[in-house]
Amino acid sequence: MADSIALPAGLLTKQQYEKAQFDQKYNMEKDLGRDAFLKLFTTQLQNQNPLDPMDNEAFVSQLAQFSSLESMKAMQSSIEQMSASFQGEKFISSSNLLGRYLRNESAAVMTGKGQDSRAVADLSNGAEEVKIGVIDSTGQQVYGTTMGAQLPGEMQITWNGKDDQGKALPDGIYKFVVAAKINNKFMPVSVSTKDRIQSVRWDSTSNDYTIETETGSVLNSKQITRIEM
E-assigned strands of the chain?
Answer: 101-104, 108-111, 117-123, 129-135, 141-147, 153-159, 172-182, 185-188, 191-203, 208-213, 218-220, 227-228
What is the residue-averaged pLDDT of the chain?
Answer: 77
Q: Is 47 exposed, middle or buried (0-12, 13-18, 19+ CB in 10 A)?
A: middle
Q: Please indicate, yes or no, whether residues 74 and 187 belong to a single structural domain of this protein.
A: no
Domain boundary among 66, 94, 122: 94
Q: Please indicate, yes or no, whether residues 114 and 210 belong to a single structural domain of this protein.
A: yes
What's the pLDDT at 142? 95
Assign residue 148 the CATH number of its domain: 2.60.40.4070
Structural domain of 77: 14-94
Q: Residues 6 or more apart from 148 whose CB is under 8 A from it?
A: 129, 130
What's the pLDDT at 7? 45
* Residue 5 maps to a domain: no
> What's the half-sphere exposure (Cβ side, CA atoms, 13 Å) at 83?
9
Q: Please indicate, yes or no, whether residues 149 and 51 belong to a single structural domain of this protein.
A: no
Q: Please indicate, yes or no, whether residues 79 and 112 belong to a single structural domain of this protein.
A: no
What is the phi/psi pair of residue 107, to 5°? 65, 20
Distance in angstroms (rounded) separating the CA atoms of residues 89 and 86? 5
**Which carries the bigger pLDDT value, residue 92 or residue 144?**
144
Which of 26-35, 92-101, 102-111 has the least mean pLDDT?
Answer: 26-35
Instruction: Report pLDDT digits (tens) over 106-126.
Output: 899 988 677 889 999 999 999
Q: Please indicate, yes or no, whether residues 46 and 118 belong to a single structural domain of this protein.
A: no
Q: Please indicate, yes or no, whether residues 204 and 116 belong to a single structural domain of this protein.
A: yes
Q: Please indicate, yes or no, whether residues 134 and 208 belong to a single structural domain of this protein.
A: yes
**Which carries the bigger pLDDT value, residue 131 or residue 202?**
131
* Residue 108 maps to a domain: yes
Q: Please indicate, yes or no, whether residues 82 and 110 belong to a single structural domain of this protein.
A: no
**Which carries the bigger pLDDT value, residue 193 or residue 34?**
193
Distance in angstroms (rounded) separating the CA atoms of residues 166 and 84? 54
In this prediction, residues 161-171 reach a mean pLDDT of: 92
Number of structural domains (the chain) is 2
What is the phi/psi pair of residue 207, to 5°? 55, 45
